[in-house]
Structure 1
Amino acid sequence: MSYPMPYPEERADRPQPAPAPQPVPAPPAVARAAVPVARVPVAPAVTSAPLATPTPLTRPPDEPGGPPTGPDGERPRDRTGPSGQTSRLRIGWHTVPRAGLRRVTATPPAPAGLLLGRDQQQVPVPLRLFTPDPVRVTLVGGVWAAQLLIFRAFSVGVRVVVVTTEPRAWAGFGERATGQQHRLTVVAAEPGGPVGGTAQTPLLTVYDLGVSGPMTSPPLGPWHTQLTILRQLDRPGVAAVQEAGLVVLQRLGGDEAALAAATLRLRPQSAQLLQQMNDDMMALIGDGDDRYLFLHQTGIEQQYMGLPRR
């Protein structure tokens, strides 16, 4: 039996063509991620060049108290702790340029006393009502002005005794102002004997007897202040004005202003100003100076006592 012979191109000893390359599937995205390569730090080359001088921090001229800025004008971030507060200063030397030191000023302390108001320059005007020595004050004005002073005096813990011929004007005032019943007492007769207060609880005795003060000057103890209210300034009240170390006045009429100027030896210009004051103004005579001030009544004071009036 004979077998067919292969064609010359199909002979086994002839080299066969290589198969076509098959596409290799792409590796997953995770496999393609770049693997970080650790870099070995290289020491800087040794050179004889001088070291660079750092640029000092400067303050902007328009903000003398602001934080320092760098040469590019950027400010460093404020370092804060876990509670959000600025970290403490490091103990050491802190330098200030002379130009910035010249801008540092010291604010003078506010004068001591009960704030009565502010003058035209917005300077606080205090009233020294409570001191270790007895104090006598006379107010020429209405019950509203007296209650304003007492309302502000409640903030320092004062205890008030009111001697009055018109108890209705004082009924419930102490309870409304303090929420307590023993802070203000209304009586009809003058208390006898010297009574004093303490630095923590001063005593204020108020005499609201119309146009005159008490018949005799009652003795006063330490931390004890006497406030005499003259609803109208007339001859019977001249003695209360003369005995007072401080006199507080609301706007006066023509006859009242003339009598006050003669009693207190005021200048003619002061007598005119006493008649021209607004409802929210007072005059403080004594303590070495005559002051005209604005009361700057607060919202709470308006709620309890209403708008200024005499």
Structure 2
Amino acid sequence: MIASPAPRAAAAPRAPHRPGPPPQDPPAPYHPDHTGPSGRVSRLRIGWHAVPRTGLRRLTVWPATGAGLLLGRNQQQVPVPLRLFDPDPVRVALVGGVWAAQLLIFRAFAIGARAMVVTTEQRAWSGFGERATGQYQRLTVLGGEPDALPPGTAQTPSLIVYDLGVTGPATAPPLGPWTSALTVLRQLDRPGVAALQEADLTLMQRLGGDESTLAAATLRLSQQNGQLLQFMTDDMVALVGEGPDRFVSLNQTGIEQQYLGPPRR
């Protein structure tokens, strides 16, 4: 005879659910590799992060170099900044053509600069400032050297460009803070040597044989670097000054190519 199952006990009624306070985060554990002054790490907050000391050792801090612009990338694809503006005046010599000069000015416009161009070939500069910025007051083109330069500030640095062929200006007004001078040498010959000697930074597009010999002697380049000046591609410049000599790819953007055309000297 099979015994019938015993009747189940009635389930006790459930208490209604009442929401309680939200759970509190447990205190942050002590960790010897990333502690604050109290020896503990506080809870994560928006905008604040705890970094292990081992991670801090891998951080790189770039030195402050005034208002710089990105010149391009070196052969290791590392960005190369150009210290074009600074509280102290900066003098730059460019052995190359109008295209390279206008590329530098185009990038200087992006950091708020105003430019003044003194040139014997005003047609090459006609309308450039208006096309590049949509404004008329950002670039002034002159046929003769000015008596004074517009003052520069950290927010609106000033750039004076001398495009006089194969030499720099005979006389030039003194440069003030946040004011830089760019001397463009269409060809490098004896009259332009002084501009290279006075420059804090020198940029060079691809040079011919006589030009590279003169540049190497003036700037005291190594024999290898002097020879490489003749073999750069159209979109490269050599940068001499502020550390080791570098060969830089300019990495022209689509907008720059639209306004300036392809690289050339």
Structure 1 length as normaliser, TM-score?
0.68
Which AA in structure 1 matches 2:192?
G
Structure index of larger Rg: 1
Identity of aligned residues (%): 66
Q: 2:254 aligns with which of 299, 302, 307?
A: 299
Q: Report the CA distance between 1:192 and its aligned residue.
A: 1.1
User: For residues 184-242 of structure 1, what are the alpha-carbon distances to aligned partners after superposition, in whole Å with 9 as ceiling and x for unaligned?
Assistant: 01011111136421111111000000011101243111111000000000011011111
The aligned length equals 226
C-alpha contact (below 8 Å) 2:145/2:172 kept by paired residues: no
SS in 2 for 1:219: coil
Q: 2:28 aligns with which of 77, 84, 93?
A: 93
Q: 2:180 aligns with which of 210, 225, 248?
A: 225
The higher relative CO (CA closer than 8 Å, separation ≥ 6) is in 2
- Measured in 1, the distance between the counterparts of 2:196 and 2:146 equals 21
Q: 1:104 aligns with which of 11, 30, 55?
A: 55
SS in 1 for 2:193: helix
Mark the runs of 5 or more structure 2 residues left unpaired by the alignment.
1-9, 16-24, 34-50
Which AA in structure 1 matches 2:134?
G
Pairing 1:117–2:72 present: yes
Q: 1:280 aligns with which of 227, 235, 257?
A: 235
- Measured in 2, the distance between the counterparts of 1:302 and 1:131 equals 28
Structure 2 length as normaliser, TM-score?
0.79
Which AA in structure 1 matches 2:224?
Q
- Measured in 2, the distance between the counterparts of 1:39 and 1:299 equals 75
- Measured in 2, the distance between the counterparts of 1:102 and 1:131 equals 34
Q: 1:136 aligns with which of 87, 91, 95?
A: 91
* 1:75-86 matched pairs, under 5 angstroms: none
Cα distance change on mapping 1:194 and 1:298 into 2, 3 Å? closer
Pairing 1:171–2:126 present: yes
Give the RMSD, CA atoms, in angstroms.
2.4
SS in 2 for 1:256: helix
- Measured in 2, the distance between the counterparts of 1:142 and 1:302 equals 15
SS in 1 for 2:86: coil
C-alpha contact (below 8 Å) 1:110/1:124 kept by paired residues: no
Mark the runs of 5 or more structure 1 residues left unpaired by the alignment.
1-36, 43-89
Pairing 1:154–2:89 present: no
